[in-house]
Amino acid sequence: MLESNKTLVRRYYDEVLNQRQLPVFDELADPSFVSYLPSGEPLNLQGYRQAIAGSLAVFPDLMVTIEDQIAEGDKVVTRWRVQGTPQVAFAGIEPTGKAITITAIHIHRVDNGKLIEHWEAINLHAVR
């Protein structure tokens, strides 16, 4: 079960983000999916889908690399880094034409082979 949960989460990073196959997210996520932003504000499935599309619009060359992944129980923790070139101002980052790197940690909760919940701790203070 732990490996299948990790595989499910890897599909999110690889297919949805790196390959930009947004419809795959609907296949991976339960209709009750909720994401908790660093502010604690929850986003439902539709809101999170819009956030993904927005991120890909800001960083059309976005590429996620998984650095570490740990699974325990129904949760998968992923430490990752993303590289991309912002095309518009985003979270205080100006579009300079240069690629940047952002690091973050996500926790996904999986139930019955579907993504149910998501928490994010993103490090925008160490943008390189």
Domain segments of the chain as ranges: 2-126
CA–CA separation, 107 vs 93, rounded Å?
Answer: 24
Is the domain spanning 2-126 CATH 3.10.450.50? The answer is: yes
Q: What is the pLDDT of residues 48-95, one digit of tens each?
A: 999 999 999 999 999 999 999 999 999 999 999 999 999 998 878 889
Whether the Cβ atoms of residue 15 and residue 24 lie closer than 8 Å to each other: yes
Q: What is the pLDDT of residues 85-126, one digit of tens each?
A: 999 988 788 898 999 999 999 999 999 999 999 999 988 765
Measured CA angle at 70 (ends 66, 76), to 5 deg: 90
- The pTM of this model reads 0.91
Whether the Cβ atoms of residue 109 and residue 89 lie closer than 8 Å to each other: no
Q: What is the pLDDT of residues 12-54, one digit of tens each?
A: 999 999 999 999 999 999 999 999 988 888 999 999 999 999 9
pLDDT of residue 128: 59
Which whole number is the average pLDDT over 1-12? 96
pLDDT of residue 103: 94
